[in-house]
């Protein structure tokens, strides 16, 4: 089984507080991996590091055997085109319209695409997530759930092969949550690589091929779906977010 992302001895601190410590992990291509652990354990930071959004203080992060922060401009642009992230807080630009927010990835990665094709792609993705409001409004005019839908739509805009999701069903009602889960399931069936953080163990059990436990900013254990299904005690420990193995 090939690895698509490798983290080697990665550490990261913010405001003099060490959040991730000597973290090493392989993420398998074409598989879904859930990052789990107690609240405040560093899961979201590990996710952002693996996506190349945060720069580690120590260690290296590789995408297809290329160290992310040593890539050429063209290599990095290709990595950014092939990957996308849904942030926990949605991270939508406050001074841009919804249309502009969704259009930007297409402008950056497909500069030859004309206005008509960009508009069609935007409408296609918005149909998938079932967003039906005016595209000329700004994020402040949306509910938290609607902002999450737009963040998810933005991540899908370039049809990524590597998808990072941070608490991606948070703030959504049951119907919208099920819809996004179905989209992720489709990407899984198409053998996209997905790495996500989620506190809902039902979603984790439904989608994840692997679970990686993060405790105190450190790698604790990586478990396959098969191992979890065969070992009820292990599954209970993972569900509780406790690595007492």
Which domains, from first to last, does the chain contain?
Answer: 3-240 (3.40.50.300)
Mean pLDDT of 61-71: 96
Residue 110 · residue 77 · CB < 8 Å: no
User: Cα–Cα distance between 208 and 137 in angstroms, integer?
Assistant: 36
What H or E segment, with its residue span, contains residue 175? Answer: helix 174-189
Give whole-number Cα distances, 78 to 54, 130, 139, 153, 186, in Å. Answer: 18, 29, 28, 20, 23
pLDDT tens digits, one per residue of 146-189: 999 999 999 999 999 999 999 999 989 999 999 999 999 999 99
Confidence of residue 243 (pLDDT cuts 50, 70, 90): very low
Tell me if the pTM is above 0.75. yes
Q: What is the pLDDT of residue 73?
A: 95
Q: What is the pLDDT of residue 240?
A: 74
- Which residues lie across from 224 on neighbouring strands? 210
* Token pair belonging to 59: 């260690």
pLDDT tens digits, one per residue of 116-145: 999 999 999 999 999 999 999 999 999 999
User: In the predicted model, is pLDDT for residue 244 greater than 60?
Assistant: no
Q: What are the percentages of helix, strand and coil residues in the chain, rounded to 5? A: 40, 25, 30
């Amino acid at each position: 089984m090939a690895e698509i992302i490798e983290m080697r001895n990665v550490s990261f601190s913010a405001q003099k507080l060490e959040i991730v410590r000597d973290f090493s992990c392989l993420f398998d291509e074409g598989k879904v991996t859930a990052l789990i652990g107690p609240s405040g354990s560093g899961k979201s930071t590990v996710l952002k590091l693996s996506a190349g959004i945060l720069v580690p203080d120590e260690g290296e992060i590789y995408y297809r055997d290329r160290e992310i922060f040593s890539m050429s401009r063209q290599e990095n642009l290709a990595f950014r085109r092939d990957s996308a992230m849904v942030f926990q807080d949605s991270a939508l630009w406050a001074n841009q319209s919804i249309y502009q927010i969704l259009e930007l990835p297409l402008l950056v990665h497909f500069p030859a695409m004309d206005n008509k094709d960009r508009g069609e792609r935007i409408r296609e993705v918005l149909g998938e997530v079932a967003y039906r409001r005016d595209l000329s409004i700004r994020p402040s005019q949306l509910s938290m759930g609607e902002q999450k839908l737009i963040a998810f739509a933005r991540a899908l805009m370039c049809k990524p092969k590597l998808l990072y999701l941070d608490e991606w069903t948070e703030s959504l009602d049951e119907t919208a949550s099920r819809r996004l889960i179905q989209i992720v399931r489709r990407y899984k069936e198409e053998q996209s690589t997905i790495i996500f953080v989620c506190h809902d163990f039902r979603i984790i059990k439904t989608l994840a091929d692997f679970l990686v436990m993060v405790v105190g900013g450190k790698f604790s254990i990586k478990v396959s779906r098969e191992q979890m299904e065969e070992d009820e005690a292990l599954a209970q420990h993972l569900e509780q977010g406790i690595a007492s193995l």
